[in-house]
Structure 1
Amino acid sequence: MDYRDIEIFLEISRTHNITKAAENLFLSQTSVSHRLKRLEAELGAPLITRQRGMRSLEFTPRGEAFIPLAKRWMDLYKEVEICINGPEMTLSIGAIHSVNPGFLYPLIQRMIQEKHGLTIYLSQMSSIDLYKAIENQQIDIGFVGFRYHRPHVHVRPILRQTLCVVSQSPNFCPNTVISPQELDPQLEIYSYWGPEYQAWHDRRWSPAFRPCVVTDSMSNVSLLLSGGDYWSILPSNLAFDLVQTSNLKMYQLSDPPPERVCYMITHQFPKAGHKQAINIFNQILAQTENEHHELPLQI
């Protein structure tokens, strides 16, 4: 069974039109029709109903049944190609949105520059989803915002981040230090920074005073802080990035919350084919720790 024949059949199944399928695949209509007939001959049954005047193709029962099989065949073909001709190693990394880009991205860039012959898959997830993904071995390395016990998941503290206030309010004092008592909890754009932070937050402001917005998106925070007396507490690296590109100001808290700790998580028993890539990442991480003592900050 030919890859190109299956590709053409699947495009026909998507468009229900041979002319359109030919255009999308940059082939002639004659070539598409010929390959479709060849596939039908190989399968020993017609796949489409051929009637004059029909603007949209209809599939025979055999054709309808073959569509999901063709998709699975195509997926398997691609997996075999990757296995034979793809990179020798792959590394899947997941991180929460607020992990310091100045920490994670240089590590990845260094792995790329050193040409270890691997492909890196980088994704963004919540901490809970990252723990589940590591436990199920869907990713190799995760960076999360809090400890959470899961079977066979190794948790290592990797980075400390101070928290500060960001606001555009003209009513704040001109000093760079602000007291929690000066902040109206009902004007807060709230993000969750872990259980220690939440305990500190609940001691400073009664849970009865709910924030006006709760979000885990930094783009939302930036937009919502663009007017009025709204404020938010953010890791200093994220706050600094926002201040550089807007009219926002940063304030230190006179009674600050505990430093936020980020953790690196890995599976206790990584897949055999991924161990080398994980070891390379750990080696580069160790080199970074030796070269730059301030990033990451070990605990």
Structure 2
Amino acid sequence: MEAILLETFLVVCETKNFTTASQILFATQPTITGRIRALEDYLGFELFIRRKGKKTLTLTSRGKEFIPIASRIIKLYEDIESFKNTSYNSLTISTIASYATPVVANICKKMNRDYGTNIKILTYQTREAYELVLKKEIDMAFVSQEIPTAGIEIQPLFSQKYYLVTATDSNSSSNFKSINLKKLDYSKEIFLNWDAHFLKWHNQFFPHPKLEVDSIQLLIDFLKDTGYWAIVQECNIPVLLNTINLKIYQLPILPPTRKCFILTNQFPDKELILVTNKFITVCKEYILQQFNALNPLF
């Protein structure tokens, strides 16, 4: 049963006249009478009493009984259309651990707060993330490597520098221009393996670290003890400063800057297009606001 037949029936019920109904529905009178006849044929009973010479229509008893049913069906059609046209507003996102806080967390907070987006955040390594995006098991992923892959769109987001940090007993943190790498106590390094480029640079100066961690929380626990130091991404420093005061040093010989890329499937499901585009827009807005720590790559 077509919705237009029910809509026509309800309008004719209100106007009690085919001519007036045709004007309201922007259709010819023969079209209106044809729709009513088609609906009656479908139902198997007459809806209106037709009298020659009478312009006003009268509902049959079955016609009166059918009004609430037709209204409910029309409401159901409207609900279906509304459901179809409501944009999907959920995302499953992957990030490597080193970008989770504060970058990805802050972007997701904004999406949830400003747009009501439901977000599930998972942690996967870069190569796993490529595979999951390709299989559409996750919608988007933040990674640190650009690996050209058929079916995946890779967008560069930002790069950032590294700094050497160590805890201080002072009541406030301080920044220093540079530090002599040769004067460092290598046994006190808390090593974080940021990526292959960083590892290659690191091994030129500190080839055999005694302590290695893979999370910022573990790093904080070690830094609280005197003498420990670590080389961190610039975006990690605000997280550390929430817990401990730091001496922050520039490195005299810089490692390659670390880049962040966002992955999406090249052929996304239609319902994801609006929300993924909005998410990427919010990402870029956030990065531009963090110009002191993140260098935009777009």
Seen in structure 2, the aligned counterparts of structure 1 residues 223 and 258 have a Cα distance that, compared at 3 Å, is same
Residue 141 of structure 1 aligns with which residue?
A: 140
Code of the aligned partner of 2:262? M
Q: CA RMSD in A?
A: 3.1
**TM-score, normalised on structure 1?**
0.60
Code of the aligned partner of 2:189? E
Note the C-alpha offset of 1:288: 4.6
Aligned partners of 1:159 and 1:295 also within 8 Å: no
Aligned partners of 2:161 and 2:234 also within 8 Å: yes
Aligned mate of 2:247, from 242, 245, 249: 249
Cα deviation, 1:128-150, whole Å, max 9, x if unaligned, reads: 33222212211111111222344
Code of the aligned partner of 2:211? V
Code of the aligned partner of 1:129? E
Query: Number of residues paired by the alignment?
Result: 209
Residue 232 of structure 2 aligns with which residue?
A: 234
Deviating runs (4+, > 4 A) in structure 1? 286-296
Seen in structure 2, the aligned counterparts of structure 1 residues 156 and 262 have a Cα distance that, compared at 3 Å, is same
Cα deviation, 1:146-200, whole Å, max 9, x if unaligned, reads: 2234442222221222111112379xxx955212222233332111122221221
Seen in structure 2, the aligned counterparts of structure 1 residues 180 and 94 have a Cα distance that, compared at 3 Å, is same
> Unaligned regions of 5+ residues in structure 1, if any?
1-82
Note the C-alpha offset of 1:290: 6.3
Seen in structure 2, the aligned counterparts of structure 1 residues 264 and 295 have a Cα distance that, compared at 3 Å, is farther
Please give the alpha-carbon distance, in whole angstroms, between the structure 1 residues aligned to 2:148 and 2:211: 29
**1:113-132 equivalences in 2 (<5 Å):** 113-115=113-115, 118-132=117-131
Q: Quick check: 1:108 aligned with 2:96?
A: no
Seen in structure 2, the aligned counterparts of structure 1 residues 221 and 284 have a Cα distance that, compared at 3 Å, is closer
Q: Quick check: 1:159 aligned with 2:158?
A: yes
Seen in structure 2, the aligned counterparts of structure 1 residues 257 and 107 have a Cα distance that, compared at 3 Å, is same
Q: How high is the sequence identity, in percent, across the aligned residues?
A: 23
Code of the aligned partner of 2:277? N
**Larger-Rg structure:** 2
Please give the alpha-carbon distance, in whole angstroms, between the structure 2 residues aligned to 1:191 and 1:141: 25
Seen in structure 2, the aligned counterparts of structure 1 residues 101 and 196 have a Cα distance that, compared at 3 Å, is same
Aligned mate of 1:213, from 207, 211, 217: 211
